[in-house]
Amino acid sequence: MSGVRRAQLHHRSLFQLHEPAFWVFGAFLVYGMVRMVGALVQLSAVSRSGWALSWLLLALYAAPLFLLIYYLDLYEREPLSVAVAAFLWGAFAATALALDAGGWDQVLAQVAGADFAARWAPALTAPVVEEFLKGAGIVLLYLIVRDEIDDVMDGFVYGALCGLGFAVVEDVLYFMAAFGGTPAGVLQGFYVRVLSSGLYGHVLYTGLVGMAVGLVVSRREPAPMRDRLPAAAGIVAIAVLGHFLWNSPLLSFGPTPPIEGMEWLVLPFSLAVKGLPLLFFVIVALRLARGRERRWLDGALAGEVGSEGLTEAELETLRSPARRRAAVSAMRRRAGAPAGRLLARLEREQIDLAMIASRVATPDDPAVLQQRDYCRSLRDALAAMPGAQAAVAHTDAAGR
- Tell me which residues touch another protein (CB under 8 A): 18-21, 24, 28, 38-39, 42-43, 45-47, 50, 97-110, 114, 117-119, 121-122, 126, 129, 132-133, 136, 139-140, 143, 170, 173-174, 176-185, 188, 247, 249, 252, 256-259
- Read off φ and ψ for residue 386, nearest 5 degrees: -60, 130
> Residue 180 and residue 184: Cα distance in Å, rounded?
9
For the CB of residue 136, give the shortest distance to another protein in the complex, in Å. 5
For the CB of residue 209, give the shortest distance to another protein in the complex, in Å. 14
Residue closer to another protein (CB basis): 85 or 285: 85
For the CB of residue 341, give the shortest distance to another protein in the complex, in Å. 36
Task: Tally Cβ neighbours within 10 Å of residue 250.
Answer: 10
* Total number of residues shown for the chain: 400
Side chain identity, residue 364? D
- Read off φ and ψ for residue 75, nearest 5 degrees: -110, -10
Residue closer to another protein (CB basis): 18 or 226: 18
For the CB of residue 176, give the shortest distance to another protein in the complex, in Å. 8
Residue closer to another protein (CB basis): 99 or 360: 99
Q: Which of 98, 102, 68 is nearest to 169 (CA)?
A: 98
315 to each of 50, 213, 220, how far by Cα in Å? 52, 29, 19
Q: Give burial (CB, 10 Å; 0-12/13-18/19+) of 8.
A: exposed
Residue closer to another protein (CB basis): 158 or 296: 158
CB 174 within 8 Å of CB 206: no
> Residue 89 and residue 75: Cα distance in Å, rounded?
25
Residue closer to another protein (CB basis): 256 or 362: 256
Residue closer to another protein (CB basis): 46 or 72: 46
For the CB of residue 260, give the shortest distance to another protein in the complex, in Å. 9
For the CB of residue 220, give the shortest distance to another protein in the complex, in Å. 21
